[in-house]
Amino acid sequence: MTLAKRIIPALDIKDGQVVKGISFENVQAVGDPVALAKQYEADGADELVFLDITATNERRKTIMDVVQAVSQAVFIPLTVGGGIRTTDEMAQLIAAGADKIFVNSAAVKNPDLVTEGAKIFGSQAIVGAIDAKWDPKAQFYRVYVSGGQVPTDWNAVAWAQELQKRGAGELLVTSIDADGNQDGYDQRLYQELAAAVDLPLIASGGAGQVQDFVDLFEKTPVDAALAASVFHYGTVPIPKLKQALSQADVEVRQ
């Protein structure tokens, strides 16, 4: 027996509110992160990821208020990221109630952020987030930054190994090609990464239906599947998803 495969809803937070449409029944305050987080916890989510997309100077305070409020009401691991550039910001978010911090563009720009964060908070608290896109010319998955807009020189496999070396405890990997298409996860990306690093992998991007999750866990060794829209819009209810995974002999927490 081993660890249960994790199902992780992602919530985009802007100015303290969840953006993207939501179709939960019985949730009064649509867009309220606390109400939604509670609903997801009750549905059996194994962890929650909050991506702060607030663009104003007040951004840090609003996301910290969200983390503080959610961590008082919801008792599953909370991973928070989006624009984090310093270990001070990490410390503030962890003090507010975040269990893990994910870093993306800032880590590419300044890889010492990962090293320092792991040293101060432990590897278990530092998640390396990678946005990757298949480059047909180079014949590898290329790392992109700034919300998947800007290509870098990094091969995603090499960058994953670098993140591991620097002390990241987990990788959250989004396929830019698959993201938003609802046509399934990019299995080859995760197979390549899993063969190259020993870290737990969270797959992100491409979930459209229950079978996409089943395929991901049957065909790749990833530890967790992250999705947003299919959970927010109720296309894939988490209880139903977990039942289907269990029936497919994928171990999940019921």
Partner 1 sequence: MKIAIVDYGAGNIQNVVKAIASTGLDTVVTKDPTEISQADGLVVPGVGAFARAMDKLADAGLVKVIQDFAKTGKPILGLCLGMQLLFDSSSEFGATKGLGLIPGQVVALPKQVDYKVPQMGWNQNQVSQDLPITEAISGQYTYFVHSYYAQTDPQYIAAWVDYGSVKVPSVVVKDNVMGAQFHPEKSGPVGLAMWQRFKEMVVGA
Q: Provide the annotated active-site residues.
A: 12, 131
Query: Measuring CA to CA, how many Å separate 9 from each of 37, 113, 229?
Result: 9, 26, 9
Helix ranges (H only) for the chain are 33-43, 59-73, 87-96, 105-109, 112-121, 156-165, 187-196, 210-219, 229-232, 238-247
Considering the complex, what minimum distance in angstroms separates the CB of residue 72 from partner 1?
A: 5
Of 6-25, which residues contact partner 1 (CB under 8 A)? 6
89 counts as binding partner 1 under rule CB under 8 A: no
Q: What gap in Å lies between CA 123 and CA 145, rounded to an integer?
A: 22
Q: Which stretch binds partner 1 (CB under 8 A): 30-38, 72-80, 140-148, 242-250?
A: 72-80
CB of 58 to partner 1, least distance (A): 23
Question: Residue 13 pairs with which residues in a beta bridge?
Answer: 18, 52
Task: Provide the β-strand partners of residue 127.
Answer: 102, 170
6 versus 133: smaller Cβ distance to partner 1: 6
Rounded to 5°, the CA angle 25-234-22 comes to 65
Long-range contacts of 149-154 (CB under 8 A, 24+ apart): 152/108, 154/108
Region binding partner 1 by CB under 8 A among candidate stretches 10-18, 178-186, 192-200, 228-236: 192-200
Distance in Å, CB of 197 to partner 1, minimum: 10
Does 234 bind partner 1 (CB under 8 A)? Our answer is no
Cβ proximity of 132 and 125 under 8 Å: no
Confirm if 48 and 76 have CB atoms less than 8 A apart.
Answer: yes
- Give whichever of 109 and 165 is closer to partner 1, judged by the CB atom: 165
Q: Residue 93 or residue 145: which is nearer to partner 1 going by CB?
A: 93
Least gap, CB of 131 to partner 1 (angstroms)? 23
Q: Which residues bind partner 1 (CB under 8 A)?
A: 1-4, 6, 41, 46, 71-72, 75-77, 94-97, 99, 122-124, 169-170, 198-200, 221, 223-224, 253-254
